[in-house]
């Protein structure tokens, strides 16, 4: 059995309720519970590409990746197990999209860490599902209800936009810096005070703001953007379109779908997976960067000052430069020799 998250352990305390049911598992699933739980059938929808990559090895076509699930995929499912993400706005977006394609009467389990805000589910879904708390353990809460009314859902109603200089940034719920440019990305952009040429890869691109700002200032710059999150991929495409910029937006787990070499790799890399600290993606980003840089190509990243990236940069590239810092953030650069 794989290592399960506390939320999944709470689900398994009620395993007997799932034995004959046809499950749809969705939300912020971070383990392989879907391959281990006993049920009539199991399908999983995730908007995280790396989770999908892990699940399809055993679930095949019963695992789907995308911004929202489609009605054909969920057909026949009579019970939803939803893992609450760290953003209430993202949870509301995902649940309403699911409740637009699941039939009334569907059983709905919602589980999540208490610090994530899961206890607000009853208020957020008022008039759609009436939830009752059925378990509390491992600092998690489990709620159950039945879908009372199928809802209308239009993705176009969920967009948010803001300006960074003359760049329009378009974002969907669950995308980093959904409402405004974060301080770290602002610091990283401030270090590009001259022309940037050649090809650029923005890893963990989020809304696409970094690549869009640099592309607007440097029209000849060739842009590639990548992320694991379906909402980020959709948002980045919308940001490029709004600014009349050309770019290749790639769904990729760090470099898993990247085939070229670049003059620049930039990133404000994540160090959380859900609510947990996880440096694996950032470690891979740095360690494998020389394989995706041209000779003389540069990696430039911004990170919280306490994160242990200098030693990894030195062991990977031989050395690095600290080119900007504040009390909380540092911008590092390393060059492929």
Q: What is the pLDDT of residues 291-318, one digit of tens each?
A: 999 999 999 999 999 888 999 999 999 9
Checking if the pLDDT of 153 tops 90, the result is yes
Q: Are residues 143 and 25 in the same domain?
A: yes
Checking if the pLDDT of 335 tops 80, the result is yes
End-of-domain residue from the set 118, 153, 188: 153
Q: Are residues 203 and 169 in the same domain?
A: yes
Q: How many domains is the chain partitioned into structurally?
A: 2
pLDDT digits (tens, 9 = 90+) for 155-191: 999 999 999 999 999 999 999 888 899 999 999 999 9
Q: Are residues 197 and 300 in the same domain?
A: yes
Q: Structural domain of residue 38, as residue ranges?
A: 4-153
Identify whether the C-beta of residue 324 lies closer than 8 Å to the C-beta of residue 190.
yes
d(CA 167, CA 159): 16
Q: Are residues 304 and 265 in the same domain?
A: yes
Q: Are residues 65 and 172 in the same domain?
A: no
Q: What pLDDT shows up at residue 94?
A: 98
Q: Are residues 210 and 323 in the same domain?
A: yes
> Across the chain, what does the average pLDDT equal?
95
Q: Are residues 134 and 272 in the same domain?
A: no
Q: Are residues 174 and 237 in the same domain?
A: yes
Q: Are residues 183 and 46 in the same domain?
A: no
Q: What is the value of pTM for the model shown?
A: 0.95
Checking if the pLDDT of 281 tops 90, the result is no
Q: Are residues 118 and 70 in the same domain?
A: yes
Per-residue confidence band for 280, with pLDDT thresholds at 50, 70 and 90: confident
Q: Are residues 42 and 101 in the same domain?
A: yes
Of the candidates 27, 47, 44, 53, the one whose C-alpha atom is nearest the C-alpha of residue 253 is 53
CATH of the domain at 116: 3.40.50.150
Q: How far is CA 240 from each of CA 206, 214, 234, 244, rounded to the nearest angstrom?
A: 12, 11, 10, 6
- Residues of the chain with pLDDT > 70: what percent? 97
Q: Are residues 123 and 243 in the same domain?
A: no
């Amino acid at each position: 059995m794989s290592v399960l998250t506390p939320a999944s352990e709470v689900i398994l305390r009620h395993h007997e309720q799932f034995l004959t049911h046809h499950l749809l598992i969705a939300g912020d699933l971070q383990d392989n519970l879907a391959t281990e739980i006993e049920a009539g059938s199991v399908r999983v929808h995730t908007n995280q590409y790396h989770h999908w990559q892990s699940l399809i090895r055993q679930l095949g076509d019963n695992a789907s990746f995308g911004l929202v699930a489609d009605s054909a995929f969920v057909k026949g499912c009579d019970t939803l197990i939803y893992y609450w993400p760290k953003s209430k706005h993202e949870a509301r977006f995902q649940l309403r999209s699911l409740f637009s394609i699941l039939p009334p009467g569907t059983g709905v389990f919602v589980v999540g860490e208490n610090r994530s805000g899961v206890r607000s589910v009853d208020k957020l879904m008022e008039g759609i599902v009436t939830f009752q708390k059925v378990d509390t353990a491992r600092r998690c809460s489990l709620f159950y209800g039945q879908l009372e009314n199928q809802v209308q859902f239009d993705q176009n109603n969920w967009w948010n936009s803001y300006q960074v200089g003359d760049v329009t940034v378009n974002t969907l719920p669950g995308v980093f810096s959904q409402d405004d440019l974060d301080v770290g990305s602002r610091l990283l952009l401030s270090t590009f005070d001259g022309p940037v040429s050649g090809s650029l890869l923005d890893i963990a691109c989020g809304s696409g703001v970094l690549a869009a700002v640099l592309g607007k200032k440097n029209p000849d710059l060739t842009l590639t953007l990548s992320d694991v999150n379906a909402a980020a991929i959709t948002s980045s495409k919308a940001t490029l379109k709004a600014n009349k910029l050309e770019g290749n937006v790639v769904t990729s787990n760090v470099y898993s779908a990247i085939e070229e070499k670049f003059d620049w790799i930039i990133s404000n890399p994540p160090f959380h997976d859900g609510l947990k600290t996880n440096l694996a993606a950032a470690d891979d980003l740095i360690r494998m960067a020389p394989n995706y840089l041209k000779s003389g190509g540069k990696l430039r990243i911004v990170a919280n000052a306490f994160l242990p990236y200098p030693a990894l940069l030195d062991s990977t590239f031989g050395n690095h430069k600290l080119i900007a810092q504040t009390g909380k953030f540092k911008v590092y650069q390393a060059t492929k020799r």
